[in-house]
Amino acid sequence: MPRPAHRRSATVAAAPAGAPRRQRRARGLRIQPDAVGTGPRRTAMPDDIVFDGGSEADRREIMSALDAYLSANAAYDWQRLAQIWSHDPTNVFFNMNGHTYVGLAHWTRLWKYYRERVDTGWWEPYDIKVLVRTDMALVTCHRRPARRWKGPESERLTYDADRPSFISRSTMVMVKEPGGWKTVHAHFSQASREPRPGDI
């Protein structure tokens, strides 16, 4: 019998032996906030994270890596980012500004540019879902951004125009390396405010 698509109640036979099957709420999971330092933030991580696979230890470490990224992003802290992102120079990252960045050094240059021109803060995550298979994890969520342009008007691009609040969509792929779970790909985009086709 085929596995139902997008069914939160579906179980996963591929989960490691002894690992809890998929669960909707992970209230008992202790997440170490911002494992690599302390940064500006507004709210704690939500407690209704949906997990599919992975040991309790892997889940904690993956969520700590996500928390650390959000804290680094809240201050454009590229030194902190270097502790949680893979250093493979071929990794591809899709920024919400619509452009592609290759490797940590490329993304770091972007953050250095933004730090002088954009005020930001804690991008509140919600609807977090984590899929773990062996040494790879897929982490998706929505985020409520905090962002305001402060740079010269002559450098402001369309993406940086003042606008009403919006929702960010986030997809991150992490791989378990000798130093822990590291992000190897990220794709950030803005959720549409337009009507859904066919109201679907």
- Ordered by where they begin, the domains of the chain are 52-152+165-191 (3.10.450.50)
Q: How far apart are CA 41 and CA 26, in angstroms?
A: 22
Write down the mean pLDDT value for the chain: 82
Residue whose entry in the numeric block shows the structure tokens 């893979």: 86
Which of helix, strand or coil describes residue 143?
strand
Q: How far is CA 58 from CA 35, 38, 63, 182, 190, in A?
A: 14, 22, 9, 12, 29
Query: CB under 8 Å to 21, separation ≥6 — which residues?
Result: 11, 12, 15
pLDDT at 12: 35
Cα of 106 vs its chain's centroid, Å: 18
Average pLDDT over residues 146-157: 81
pLDDT at 98: 92
Average pLDDT over residues 104-121: 93
More confident residue, 55 or 19: 55
**What is the chain's alpha carbon radius of gyration, rounded to the nearest angstrom?**
18
Average pLDDT over residues 26-36: 42
pLDDT in tens, 63-85: 999 999 999 999 999 999 999 99
pTM: 0.78
pLDDT at 21: 43
pLDDT at 13: 34
pLDDT at 24: 46
